[in-house]
């Protein structure tokens, strides 16, 4: 993920150099209002970070296979300073992960679990921007979020012994990213690439122990990268 952020940063720097040749300012008063609004679309590739706990099961290995998901939501932006904005970006974030418990022998219905997640993503972010470079403005952004997992089966009495891998409903995450604002004729287009990292453990442990699925897990949390395309 760090490589992707670095490559995006190099692209932003290259485009910023080209933007200095631009002489006609578009939307020259866009950043003056105290508030403005917008929406965003995006794609994510979220997996899990897993750390292991001592257990009765040797050679524990859990492989995570993630699929491409989507992000969509709204933007509310408050200008705190010429170069600092406070942003609230409520939206939906959805994708599916497949867990393969490689230390468990047997058929797929025993050692494989599919975990779907659709989050109500409620991030509060600070955006730090450079001074405007004609019709471009690079920035970094970061903050924390509360995420409600609509797909959570936390309260389901069935666990892995019945084929259900359970995850928590209420989660907290932080995200960081870099991007650039492009001032176009009628709106501002802001692509960014961001990383998202869970703070709390999202695994719900099985009802009885020993469990070859959840006993070896010390921490399981969302970790991934997403492309964020904002229209303001």
Taking the model in full, what pTM does it have?
Answer: 0.84
Domains with residue ranges and CATH for the chain:
32-231 (2.40.160.20)
Number of neighbours of residue 199 by Cβ within 10 angstroms = 14
Question: What's 134's DSSP letter?
Answer: T
pLDDT digits (tens, 9 = 90+) for 77-136: 999 999 999 999 999 999 999 999 998 888 888 899 999 899 999 999 999 999 999 999
Give me the half-sphere count of Cα atoms (radius 13 Å) on the Cβ side of residue 85.
Answer: 22
Q: 80-110 burial by CB neighbour count: b if 16+ within 10 A, else e?
A: eeeeebebbbebebbbbbebebebbeeeeee
159-202 pLDDT, tens digit per residue, is: 999 999 999 999 999 999 999 999 999 999 999 999 999 999 99
- Tell me if the bond preceding 210 is cis, omega within 30° of 0: yes
Q: How many CB atoms lie within 10 A of CB 38?
A: 18
């Amino acid at each position: 993920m760090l490589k992707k952020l670095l490559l995006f940063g190099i692209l932003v720097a290259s485009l910023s150099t080209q933007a200095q040749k631009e002489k006609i300012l578009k939307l020259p008063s866009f950043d003056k209002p105290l508030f403005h609004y917008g929406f965003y679309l995006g794609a994510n590739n979220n997996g899990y970070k897993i750390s292991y706990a001592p257990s009765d099961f040797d050679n524990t290995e859990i492989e995570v296979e993630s699929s491409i998901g989507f992000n969509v939501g709204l933007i509310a932006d408050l200008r705190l300073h010429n170069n600092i904005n406070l942003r609230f970006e409520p939206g939906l974030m959805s994708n599916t992960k497949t867990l393969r418990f490689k230390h468990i022998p047997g058929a797929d219905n025993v050692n494989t679990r599919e975990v779907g997640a659709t989050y109500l993503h409620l991030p509060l972010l600070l955006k730090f921007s450079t001074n405007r470079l004609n019709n471009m403005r690079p920035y970094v952004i970061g903050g924390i979020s509360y995420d409600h997992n609509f797909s959570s089966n936390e309260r389901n009495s069935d666990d892995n012994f019945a084929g259900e891998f359970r995850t928590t409903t209420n989660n907290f995450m932080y995200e960081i990213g870099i991007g650039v604002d492009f001032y176009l004729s009628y709106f501002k287009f802001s692509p960014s690439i961001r990383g998202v990292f869970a703070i709390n453990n999202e695994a719900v442990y099985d009802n009885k122990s020993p469990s070859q699925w959840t006993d070896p897990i010390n921490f399981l949390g969302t970790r991934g990268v997403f492309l964020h395309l904002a229209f303001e």
